[in-house]
Amino acid sequence: MDATWDQGDAVRVTRNVRNDGTYPGITTGELLVRRGSIGHVVDVGTFLMDQVIYSVHFLDIGRVVGCREEELIGANAEWTPSLFETRERVLAARPLAANATGTKTLVPEHSGGEVLKIVYQGAGVAYHVHFDCQPGRVFAVPEAALKPLGGRRD
């Protein structure tokens, strides 16, 4: 298993990292590192012999946090911050239609849903969202078509 980064490399975390119960002295679920933060790799290890885990020192907050490879990009890589996070509840900011003419609305405005995945598209961000009004279906939705469902944790 090859590691992408080595000790001393600067990396950026692409999503908020919360305590999964392994960070001492911090409540489980509490925010450890905010997405977009830059740190330096201080150690490289593995978890269950199939995942590379990086110990990353975030100097600005004084924490060393374990990050999975898919949570990191190079510090100088193009970075587009996302407004929403995976598993966050959102609302449709407008009716969402099945085609460009908008003749068949599938998701009415203000419908609630959950972000399943963040998709970075060049200079923009889109999301795979499951809306409650469409059980079993997942929609690719641009960021501008969503709004927060109050009570944001960040």
Q: Place 123 in a pLDDT band, splitting at 50, 70 and 90.
A: low
For residues 53-81, average pLDDT: 91
Asked if residues 115 and 131 have their Cβ atoms less than 8 Å apart, the reply is: no
Task: Mention the CATH class of domain 10-74.
Answer: mainly beta
Q: Place 78 in a pLDDT band, splitting at 50, 70 and 90.
A: confident
- Is 89-148 a domain of CATH 3.40.50? no
Q: What's residue 35's pLDDT?
A: 87
Report CA dihedral (33, 37, 41, 43) to the nearest 10 degrees.
Answer: 10
The DSSP code for 71 is G
Residue spans per domain, the chain = 10-74, 89-148
Tokens of 127: 């999301």
Task: Tell me the pairing of strands 72-74 and 51-58.
Answer: unpaired
Comparing 10-74 with 89-148, is the CATH topology the same? yes
Write the pLDDT tens digit of every residue in 6-32: 899 999 998 889 998 888 898 998 999
In whole angstroms, give the CA distance from residue 130 to residue 111: 10
